[in-house]
Structure 1
Amino acid sequence: MTGISIRSANIDDAQKIADFHVRVWRHTYQDLAPAEAFAVLNEKYRGEKWKEKLSSNDASQIVLIAEIGRRMVGIGAAGGPSESIFGDRGEIKFLYVDPDFKRRGIGRQLLARLASHLREMNYQGAALSVVKGNDLAIAFYEALNGRQAGEYIDPGPVWRSKNVVFAWDDVASLVP
């Protein structure tokens, strides 16, 4: 799709990313997450977490924003693995696309850029987790030849979601 630009995020983007994250997260998990998660994981909470992430000096980390014009239509983040189940693969930590802009290649473009970054950081493989029941995301990763590599309970701050881990042993397979 033309008109999509992808750029690295900076600290000034933190609250805008948080607002987007909350809106898309609530849409995605409306039938999966408990009410408590919706109450706690709000714009203020997410804003603080994105400020922390964007002010980190962790060179393995990248946060990307996809835009059409001035409208944020996707976000993605990657870096070193946060859980042992990811092994020595780089982790795709976030990948969200505005529901109004799905099926336009935004998720694929973000994932490719995140994978390129992980390759530059010398990760041979990539992995991510998807909440069980998020069938659209699961189908997306399966279509990209991700293989299910296990399951775990996300230790998140409120919701201990059951997750499926998808892995690509060759991170280059995600880069066109």
Structure 2
Amino acid sequence: MIHIRNAREGDTQLLSEIGLRAWQRAMALIGESDAMTDGARTAFRTFVDSNWLTITVVEQNGQVAGWAAREGLDETISDFWIDPSFNRQGLGTALLERIEADIFEQGFEQAAMQTHSGNTEAISFFQKHGYAIHWLSVAYNPKLDRDVPSVGLSKHLGPQEPEGYGPGF
């Protein structure tokens, strides 16, 4: 059974580990990670510890399987991580639907997120759920000491506007 809840202050270690495993999988698909693992581990722990109030957790049969964050409590999904051992079980879809509902209920008409342009698994997941790529950017990342390409995706929430001109079109 899928259950979605708010993160709790004591979830830091567990959520950090899930985020790290999901990040390692994504980075392996891109062809990097080993040299950055220690930094990523620290970054996840710091993020979760500082932002647990903005995190939504998905569980399956009482076991935490993933989490998403809206760090700014706005329309932007800043983090979205499903433990690789729980992939393709509908948990990401359930979590995304909850996050989108929260965004819409808080008055935002669009959900947005960004990811590494080589993270084809995540891009495909979000496109399958109605997101479209709206920008491509390359920005220097001092931690990696190189340029990193990213894509921005977004989705209109709520009723769809009719296409065409005038009544009946």
Per the TM superposition, whether the score is higher than 0.5 is yes
Distance 2:142 2:6 in 1: 26
More moved, 72-81 vs 92-101: 72-81
Q: How far did 1:79 drift?
A: 4.8
Q: Which runs of 5+ in 2 are unaligned?
A: 160-169
Number of the residue aligned with 1:172: 158
1:5-34 alpha-carbon deviations (Å, 9 max, x no partner)? 111002111221111111121122124235
Number of the residue aligned with 2:116: 131
Q: Which runs of 5+ in 1 are unaligned?
A: 56-61, 82-88
How large is the Cα RMSD of the aligned pairs? 2.3
Number of the residue aligned with 2:13: 15
1:90-139 alpha-carbon deviations (Å, 9 max, x no partner)? 10111111222222211111111111111122111111112112111111
The alpha-carbon distance between structure 1 residues 13 and 25, as it changes in their structure 2 partners (threshold 3 A), is same
Q: How far did 1:150 drift?
A: 0.2
The alpha-carbon distance between structure 1 residues 172 and 157, as it changes in their structure 2 partners (threshold 3 A), is farther
Distance 2:16 2:109 in 1: 30
Number of the residue aligned with 2:166: none
Distance 2:83 2:113 in 1: 19
Asked whether 1:78 is paired with 2:70, we answer yes
Q: How far did 1:70 drift?
A: 3.2
Contact 1:115 1:172 in 2 (8 A): no
The alpha-carbon distance between structure 1 residues 37 and 127, as it changes in their structure 2 partners (threshold 3 A), is same
The alpha-carbon distance between structure 1 residues 45 and 157, as it changes in their structure 2 partners (threshold 3 A), is farther
Normalised by the length of structure 2, the TM-score is 0.80
Q: How far did 1:72 drift?
A: 1.5
More moved, 33-42 vs 106-115: 33-42
Number of the residue aligned with 2:107: 122
The count of corresponding residues between Structure 1 and Structure 2 is 156
